[in-house]
Structure 1
């Protein structure tokens, strides 16, 4: 049985997150078109990230320097377009902070690879960790009064 395009996109997103968590440059590169772009909300340096090489190098840096790990909370893939949206948590273990958010993905029609990611945060970036609420020893950038635990979201990175 052939895999549907939506299932192939979901599998690629999961492979991308596995590569991010492993800090695996080559595996990250294999997820993107060469000219891919990753857009972010204001507040981060050197954004947007343009090219598969830049995106891959930046995520490897985050794993090596921030102890970054990511969990996927939800994936929704369109059945009639080359797009998907996910909800994630980015755990910065070295700083004991985490950021929740969403990303919108656009896939290349010819290759099926990721050509664009647009990140949206559930709260301001976690650069001012002292102002964030603490959950299980981690300062969390997340929506106010949303029942993350009750809805089955990850409360720790492992």
Structure 2
């Protein structure tokens, strides 16, 4: 598995690749640093995203999870840039409950590329497990609204 790390507006991010697919995006600086053409392209797309020039990532991803999680993560990829979807709306699409949607969201191994930050509660933003938590989620949603 190869990984690169870089600075972003939401903190340090590390992207990992395995067998030609992005398998994780983590907050923090990774201990392994090995550039590959895919990771260089991913970093380029992240920079364009944070500059408001990229609305949808075009990277091969392979998230590892249960069949239900994979179904939820696929639905997340369909939420357009600059828009949000509620946990309740996702239940109508993939089944389960708002709690199971939240669990799948929290387990998303490839945040930002699979935009779990675009899922909100019916009475507020809901939670966010990446970066600085809700502050990071607010930043991402506001940034997307600005560049929409």
Q: TM-score range by the shorter chain?
A: under 0.3
Between Structure 1 and Structure 2, the one with more helix by share is 2
- Structure 2-normalised TM-score? 0.27
CA radius of gyration, larger in: 1
Between Structure 1 and Structure 2, the one with more strand by share is 1
- Structure 1-normalised TM-score? 0.26
Task: Kindly indicate whether structure 1 or structure 2 has the higher relative contact order, using CA contacts under 8 Å at least 6 residues apart.
Answer: 2
